[in-house]
Amino acid sequence: MWLLSTDRAELHYFARNFDTVGGYAILSHTWTGDEQTLQDVRAIGERCRASGTNPRDDPALSPKIRNCCILAEKHGYCWVWIDSCCIDKTSSSELSEVINSMFRWYKEAEELIAPDFLIFLSDDWHEVGNRADLAELLEEITRVPSRVLTGQYQPAQYSVCTRMFWASRRKTTRVEDEAYCLMGLFGVSIPTNYGEGNEAFIRLQYEIMQRNPDLSLFAFGYCIQQDLALTLSFHAKRHPSLLLSSLLAASPQEFYRSCAYIPDLKQNAKQPYPPRCSDSIPTELFGGVKLPQAAVTSYGIELLVPICETDEATIAVILCQHKGQNIGLFLTRDAGGEDPTRPRYVTGCSCTKPDTGSAQFSARLANLGDDLYNLTFKGKPVKASWQTVYIVPTISDLYSSYSNTPKLTINCNPASRFRIPRWLIAQFTTQKFKVKQITDRDTLQALEIYGNGVVRIKVSFGSCIQHRGHDTNETGKLWAKVDVLLYYADMDTFIHNCSEDHIDSESWATRSKFFGDPDRGVRLSLMPSTRMSESCFVIHLELLGNVLGKMF
């Protein structure tokens, strides 16, 4: 690793980080656009060596680097590591080594979770306080428990889901760093490959799965509570939304709650699993006492878990709890599973609510009550038994919500009178939204935009067949509308109101229209295309409201 000498701000290379006499300090900081690189600092050092001056005092050196060296020296350190100038980013092998070693370097330094001691500094380099003194405030801000920040507990003592929850609000400049920055937190290493996008987080989850049997890795997404489940009808054979259909998450942001993994709680659990000999439990709980297992196969993720099957749903008991409530994972049989001897599933379940007509919802998780030994669903007892099942880990690129470039055909359909600019698609995907085309016919196109666990937006437009006349070649009146739904809701029919949605109607007089409510609003605007005929329109979307307006 490269380190800066605190007395001169000169770069020195150490083959092993523990070769530094007296240890080293590390600066954790927010990057600006003009950070000096290793090459910049080296050039200043060479020039000062020739002139016999101290590089730390050179006016060309960044004030951040200079002040960091001075402060570290004041605290008794001869060496300091600053990521902006102590990594040779021109070397891909060095960059990969640094990313894989960084958590260990932090821990063995003298950043927030890893090191033993940390002080916070103001922008004018005055000490604000140390991590122990500020632990409760830091817990409020970061959601990392103060006991972890003060070293009383180690991160590994918390479930995978909980550690993902800590990282769910973290923002990185590069999408791949969402995964790379978590390697140390989970004690795993994966090769770095900038340019792979969300695939980095998928690879991270595979690596965690193979090192740790903790099934809370799958405990993300919308959970149906017991009281709501009583009002819903579940459809075990209807495919759920693609948003919820894969076992692995697209990003840490999907972990918006923490869950405990019961086997890891051991005797600290209210109802331990495996149960204590003294516990009063039903005979042959789950058909026998075992521990869950997960394995990666070419057919899907092979899981050994307790499965409960009702007339309406199949649920995997993943032995996770949230606020004392047991959590189950909905499963729906995958019609594409070709091996009848190995049942394969996607995650999630479709459901409907009688008072909403045909509107379809999708849920990923189910509340199974607070008694692990006597589980319930929809207010009724359910029995689970150990089974081996296979689950689709991710959706194929054709339908994938993880694809960096959404597969949209609207711009290629010659019959379509609407176009959506690629820069607008990129704006949504940059903000962690997924964009998917769900219908593409001559008379109807529909897009789905969803993400951040907050909203699902359906944008539909086309030509009205009711006003086409007897001539089937005649073009019908154009219409456009937006449906703003909750994140877990779904709909698969697109019926428009001729008097409200036709773009020649009074409501579309300004070629701009608001849909939704004060919290979740979308403004759809239609602009005449400059590249096609005057009767074609370019779509523009704005997210508005108390909730959505802050996300875009």
pLDDT tens by residue, 218-277: 999 989 999 988 888 888 767 666 556 789 998 999 999 999 999 999 888 889 998 877
**Which residues lie below 8 Å from residue 221, measured CB to CB, with a gap of 6+?**
244, 254, 347, 348, 363, 364, 365
Q: From 442, 448, 434, 342, select the one nearest 388 (Cα to Cα).
A: 342
Task: Tell me the C-alpha distance between 449 and 337, whole Å.
Answer: 28
Same domain, 225 and 180: no
Query: In this structure, how many other beta carbons lie within 10 angstroms of the beta carbon of residue 379?
Result: 10
**Which residues lie below 8 Å from residue 283, measured CB to CB, with a gap of 6+?**
none
Entry pTM: 0.69
CB of 7 within 8 A of CB of 33? no
Reported as a pLDDT band with limits 50, 70 and 90, residue 356 is low
Same domain, 294 and 431: no
CB of 431 within 8 A of CB of 552? yes
Same domain, 436 and 381: no
Reported as a pLDDT band with limits 50, 70 and 90, residue 399 is very low
Query: In this structure, how many other beta carbons lie within 10 angstroms of the beta carbon of residue 544?
Result: 17
pLDDT confidence of residue 469: 57
**Domain enclosing residue 181, as ranges:** 2-210
Per-residue pLDDT tens digits for 97-139: 777 776 666 555 444 445 667 888 888 899 899 888 999 999 9
Task: Tell me the C-alpha distance between 443 and 445, whole Å.
Answer: 7
**Which residues lie below 8 Å from residue 503, measured CB to CB, with a gap of 6+?**
477, 478, 479, 480, 511, 526, 537
Same domain, 265 and 198: no
Highest mean pLDDT among 35-49, 241-255, 532-546: 35-49
**Which residues lie below 8 Å from residue 378, measured CB to CB, with a gap of 6+?**
226, 229, 230, 310, 312
Task: Count Cα atoms within 13 angstroms, Cβ side, for 525.
Answer: 11
Burial 509-520 (b: 16+ CB within 10 A, else e): eeeebebbeeeb
Find tokens 């103060």 and name the residue.
146
Same domain, 202 and 224: no
Task: Tell me the C-alpha distance between 413 and 416, whole Å.
Answer: 5
Reported as a pLDDT band with limits 50, 70 and 90, residue 398 is very low
Per-residue pLDDT tens digits for 56-88: 999 999 999 999 999 999 988 899 999 889 988
Tell me how many domains the chain contains: 3
Same domain, 340 and 432: no
Reported as a pLDDT band with limits 50, 70 and 90, residue 317 is very high
Q: Which two tokens stand for residue 491?
A: 């709909």
Same domain, 350 and 448: no
Same domain, 357 and 484: no
In a domain, 399, yes or no: no
Sheet strands (E) in 83-191 = 119-121, 127-130
Counting residues of the chain whose pLDDT is more than 90, the rounded percentage is 43
pLDDT confidence of residue 109: 47
Helix, coil or strand: residue 484: strand
Sheet strands (E) in 186-313 = 223-224, 233-235, 260-261, 293-297, 300-309
Same domain, 98 and 172: yes
> Which CATH number goes with the domain that contains 447?
2.60.270
Same domain, 471 and 332: no
In a domain, 251, yes or no: no
Same domain, 170 and 90: yes
Highest mean pLDDT among 312-326, 344-358, 405-419: 312-326
Q: How many helices (H) and strands (E) does the chain have?
A: 14, 29
From 359, 391, 423, the end of a domain falls on 391
pLDDT confidence of residue 244: 62
In a domain, 190, yes or no: yes
437 versus 145: the higher-pLDDT residue is 145
Q: From 208, 207, 232, select the one nearest 222 (Cα to Cα).
A: 232
CB of 459 within 8 A of CB of 482? yes
Task: Inform me whether the pLDDT recorded for 330 exceeds 50.
Answer: yes
In a domain, 314, yes or no: yes
Task: Tell me the C-alpha distance between 158 and 163, whole Å.
Answer: 7
From 362, 391, 420, the end of a domain falls on 391
**Which residues lie below 8 Å from residue 149, measured CB to CB, with a gap of 6+?**
112, 113, 131, 132, 135, 138, 139
Strand partners, 2: 13
In a domain, 128, yes or no: yes
Reported as a pLDDT band with limits 50, 70 and 90, residue 186 is very high
Please give the single-letter amino acid code of residue 183: M
Q: How many residues does the chain have?
A: 552
pLDDT confidence of residue 358: 52
Give the chain's end-to-end CA distance (angstroms, integer).
39
In a domain, 184, yes or no: yes
pLDDT confidence of residue 400: 40
Provide the mean pLDDT of the chain: 85
pLDDT confidence of residue 473: 55
Among 144-148, 173-177, 280-284, 438-442, the least confident range: 280-284
Same domain, 281 and 357: yes
pLDDT confidence of residue 208: 96
In a domain, 396, yes or no: no
Reported as a pLDDT band with limits 50, 70 and 90, residue 406 is low
Q: What is the CA radius of gyration of the chain?
A: 28
In a domain, 462, yes or no: yes
Find tokens 């711009």 and name the residue.
411
Reported as a pLDDT band with limits 50, 70 and 90, residue 8 is very high
Task: Tell me the C-alpha distance between 194 and 387, whole Å.
Answer: 39
Please give the single-letter amino acid code of residue 547: V
